[in-house]
A and B are shown apart, each in its own frame.
Chain A
Amino acid sequence: MTQKGKTIQLIKDILRHVVIVLMVSVWLIPIIWLIATSFSAYPGRNTSNFFPEQWSLQNYINILNPTSHTVNFPIWMWNTFKIAMAVCIVCTLFAVMVAYATSFFRFKTRKPLMNVAVILNLFPGVLSMISVYFLLKAMNLTNTHIGLTLVYCASSGLGYLIAKGYFDTVPRALVEAAKLDGASQARTFFSIILPISKPIIVYTVISSFLTPWTDFVFSKMILNSGIADMWTVSIGLYNMLDRSLINTYFSQFCAGGVIVSIPISVLFVIMQKFYVEGITGGAVKG
């Protein structure tokens, strides 16, 4: 390459990285603002400066040691955690069960069942929520954590497709061999298929565990009584920005946001890794 060509290439490379850095900084502005404000000594919204004038850890101390009943962050975290644990166990079980049945068995109602699942998936979750709300109301389960858990879990059988895609790559010879050795289908499922399905199970576990943490609509709809001790993190934080509270709690909201985001981000990154592994890796290459 000539000297001139090299210079042009260098300028191009510099430009490329300048564009990237510019874009990244635009994308990170709100995140930086979130973190900066969470360390602000001023409790309300700072409308004159991007960075706080005085720094302090007080917001973190305050939000972890609640004094009022309207803002009780630790309880919200605990509520969400309880719900998330239940949801994650039930959802994973359901999804894996349905995926195994539809992937390894050929029965008459298999195709029709899968078609019904496709149609039901078309019916968006936000829409079915008002009808589910009717149902929970009739069963007296609105404003209970059980009701909310049921909502998250109920249709989880429909989320089987990713796990099924993974099971489809498991060599059938493996199952045949187990059968010849006299293992029942149930045994094959528990002691052969489940252990080699680690990536996809981890993915399902994390994604269902994250549902209650990231969901806003369902919790807002089901837990609408206004009793702060019942809330999950999302409605709790939402409520902290209520017009009457925002000037006392905005910085604490940011602190709370940072606290919630850290575990979620970590899980999210792990989940992405397992997702890729599950989709591309396959199980045991036959």
Chain B
Amino acid sequence: MAKAKKINKVSDFFKSIGGFFKSFAEAVAKGDIFVKLSLIWVGAGYAGRKQFIRSLLVTILQAAVIVYSVLVAPQYISKFHNLGEVQMEMVFDINTMKNVPNDYDDSFQILLFSVVSIIIWIVFFFFWIKNVISAYKLQKKAEKGEHINNFKEDVTSYLNEKFHITLLSVPVLGIVLFSIVPIFILILVAFTNYDQEHMAPTALFTWTGLTNFINLFGGGGMTVTFGYSFVRVLGWTLVWAFFATFTTYFGGILLALFLNNKRTKLAKLWRALFVVTIAVPQFVSLLLVRNFFANNGIANTMLSNMGVTDFLQNIGLLSYDYIPFLSAPGWAHVTIIMVNIWIGIPYQMLIATGVLSNLPVDQIESARIDGANTGQIFRHITMPYVLFVTGPALVTDFVKNINNFNVIYLLTQDVFTTTDQYLANSQAKEVDLLVTWLFRLTQEYYNYKMASVIGICVFVICAVFTLVAFNLMTGKDKEEVYN
């Protein structure tokens, strides 16, 4: 059933696009001279119905797009196929007696402005079609002798029935500029050799096809280590996301139940004390914890005073004279998950407390009357209910943990150094998540091409996981049970 619905949605989408082009064709075929003229001059349709200001505004827009397309866009688009050829060089200028850069190509500017130009053209294309359609609508209105808005009425309509357009325009523009354009650029960079040796603007970079992907997935050559590192880092990322999500999730629910119990005194006070730990910003609490567990830190001093360190050495679990909480693989992995429990459970507890306050009380009461004990009620009523309400959150939490930059970076950066040569060659560490690896690649090694490939991989993993998980959950159609 869910599938049929989905197919419907998709076909609806194509139908509406089809409808859009159909009304365009109709407008062109049945439109009068003004409508036909507006194919070339976008203001024609409005000017023909005496909407001169509106006509002027769209004409200015058209002129701006044409000027941009003729004067600005070609110098970038024409070089898009190889991202520029002229390397930056310093040339001696006889007039100023100084070295000045030549007229060089900036590969990154070429990439960026090409993307921007293409987006502008696509948007303008749709605007152009829409414009012809509305010109035709005006024609029909005029034929029927209906009232045609003057400019002032047009403006007020944007504060009234078209108010949503006014509201949405600026936020959508922001999203396009800062989400969509960057994503396109990220995807494109993955197919280039943009790295430290090809840093724009001083050096050129160019298209390299699938080379980066082949390197990442273990194709041969000099960068065989990237394939190895990718598998290692991905493995730990998934293990981490699994443990980080489930420990805090169930821990939070149990803690909430425990504190919610009628027999718990001062529940509010305990809850507040737990919340204090998450109210402190993470860069403070995590950096502090990292020093707490440092090799020569306070935790080690206390444990060695208690004799724990000696004990571990004696039974052969430890080869150092301190416990490498955050500096050796294995130990660090466990510590990170533990610290995450510390930081994550209060948060989940807050959410679970909110959910539990809406428990189906009647069901629990009647179950109790029927003789169910606490354990049965928990298993058959409380837990299924909580799972149903917070299930989607569980999925998004997993995705968030795949990208949990703060915990890993703040705990291990500058503390953990890898001894694995292969990992070190590709600037990865045993404790890295894909995102922290990506961050280091861009910030410290300027290896944008590999970072982009990893970025695409992370996105694909998150997207596939989310879609599959949501499909499984909605597939069961449990909604009616609780409504």
A residues lining the B interface (CB < 8 Å)? 12-13, 16-17, 19-20, 23-24, 26-28, 30-31, 33-34, 45-50, 94, 97-98, 100-102, 104-105, 107-108, 112-113, 117, 119-120, 122-128, 130-135, 137-138, 150-151, 153-158, 184-186, 189, 213-214, 216-217, 220-221, 224, 234, 237-238, 241-243, 246, 250, 253-254, 257, 260-261, 264-265, 268-269, 272, 276, 279
Answer whether residue B354 sits at the interface, using C-beta atoms and an 8 A cutoff: yes
User: In chain A, what residue has the closest Cβ to B112?
Assistant: A138
Answer whether residue B250 sits at the interface, using C-beta atoms and an 8 A cutoff: no
Contact (Cβ within 8 A) B182 A132: yes
Known: A130-B451, A134-B185. A48 touches B179 (CB 8 A): no
Q: Cβ of B406: which chain A residues have Cβ within 8 Å of it? A: 216-217
Contact (Cβ within 8 A) B279 A257: no
Sample of 12 more A-B contacts, CB < 8 Å, known A20-B259, A34-B288, A134-B186 = A30-B288, A102-B164, A107-B164, A128-B186, A130-B439, A131-B185, A131-B455, A154-B175, A157-B171, A184-B160, A238-B410, A265-B276
Contact (Cβ within 8 A) A134 B182: yes
User: In chain B, what residue has the closest Cβ to A234?
Assistant: B283
In Å, the complex CA distance between A264 and B284 comes to 12
Contact (Cβ within 8 A) B13 A122: no
Contact (Cβ within 8 A) A224 B164: no
| 19 residue pairs A–B, Cβ–Cβ below 8 Å | A30-B277, A31-B285, A45-B294, A120-B179, A122-B463, A124-B435, A124-B462, A125-B403, A130-B186, A131-B183, A134-B108, A135-B178, A135-B182, A156-B171, A185-B160, A214-B283, A237-B283, A264-B279, A265-B276
User: In chain A, what residue has the closest Cβ to B187?
Assistant: A131
B280-304 contacts to A, CB under 8 A, are 280-285, 287-289, 291-292, 294, 296-298, 300-302
Contact (Cβ within 8 A) B179 A154: yes
Contact (Cβ within 8 A) A124 B458: yes
Known: A17-B265, A127-B455, A260-B281. A138 touches B109 (CB 8 A): yes
Contact (Cβ within 8 A) B171 A94: yes
User: In chain B, what residue has the closest Cβ to A103?
Assistant: B164
Q: Cβ of A185: which chain B residues have Cβ within 8 Å of it? A: 159-161, 163
Answer whether residue B350 sits at the interface, using C-beta atoms and an 8 A cutoff: yes
Known: A34-B288, A155-B178, A269-B279. A126 touches B405 (CB 8 A): yes
Interface flags for B257-269 (1: CB within 8 Å of A; 0: not) read 0110101110000
Answer whether residue B370 sits at the interface, using C-beta atoms and an 8 A cutoff: no
Contact (Cβ within 8 A) B297 A47: yes
Known: A17-B265, A100-B167, A130-B448. A33 touches B284 (CB 8 A): no
Interface flags for B96-112 (1: CB within 8 Å of A; 0: not) read 00000000000011001
Of the candidates A112, A132, A246, A269, the one having the most CB atoms from chain B within 10 angstroms of its own CB is A132
Contact (Cβ within 8 A) A186 B403: no
Interface flags for B155-191 (1: CB within 8 Å of A; 0: not) read 0100111011011101110110111111101100100
User: In chain B, what residue has the closest Cβ to A254?
Assistant: B288
Q: How many residues of B contact A (CB 8 A)?
A: 89
In Å, the complex CA distance between A48 and B296 comes to 9
Of the residues A45, A97, A237, contact of B171 by C-beta under 8 Å: A97
Answer whether residue B314 sits at the interface, using C-beta atoms and an 8 A cutoff: no
Of the candidates B179, B273, B294, the one having the most CB atoms from chain A within 10 angstroms of its own CB is B179
Of the residues A100, A138, A221, contact of B443 by C-beta under 8 Å: A221
Of the candidates B261, B275, B280, the one having the most CB atoms from chain A within 10 angstroms of its own CB is B280
Answer whether residue B388 sits at the interface, using C-beta atoms and an 8 A cutoff: no
Answer whether residue B459 sits at the interface, using C-beta atoms and an 8 A cutoff: yes
In Å, the complex CA distance between A284 and B338 comes to 44
Answer whether residue B346 sits at the interface, using C-beta atoms and an 8 A cutoff: yes
| B162 CB to nearest chain A CB (Å) | 8
Q: Cβ of A269: which chain B residues have Cβ within 8 Å of it? A: 275, 279
Contact (Cβ within 8 A) A101 B167: yes
Answer whether residue B270 sits at the interface, using C-beta atoms and an 8 A cutoff: yes
Q: Cβ of B400: which chain A residues have Cβ within 8 Å of it? A: 124
Contact (Cβ within 8 A) A260 B284: yes
Known: A24-B274, A130-B452. A257 touches B183 (CB 8 A): no
Of the candidates A50, A128, A156, A260, the one having the most CB atoms from chain B within 10 angstroms of its own CB is A128
Contact (Cβ within 8 A) B292 A33: yes
Q: Cβ of B175: which chain A residues have Cβ within 8 Å of it? A: 117, 120, 154-155, 157-158
Contact (Cβ within 8 A) B167 A97: yes
Contact (Cβ within 8 A) A261 B279: yes
Contact (Cβ within 8 A) B281 A24: no
| B376 CB to nearest chain A CB (Å) | 19
Contact (Cβ within 8 A) B435 A28: no
Answer whether residue B399 sits at the interface, using C-beta atoms and an 8 A cutoff: yes
Contact (Cβ within 8 A) A101 B178: no
Of the candidates A12, A30, A125, the one having the most CB atoms from chain B within 10 angstroms of its own CB is A30
In Å, the complex CA distance between A104 and B280 comes to 38
Of the residues B156, B179, B277, B451, contact of A27 by C-beta under 8 Å: B277
In Å, the complex CA distance between A151 and B174 comes to 10
Contact (Cβ within 8 A) A264 B160: no
User: In chain B, what residue has the closest Cβ to A266?
Assistant: B279
Interface flags for B46-76 (1: CB within 8 Å of A; 0: not) read 0000000000000000000000000000000
What are the 10 closest A-B residue pairs judged by CB atoms, nearest first?
Answer: A157-B171, A154-B178, A131-B182, A265-B279, A185-B163, A257-B284, A131-B186, A101-B164, A105-B164, A186-B159
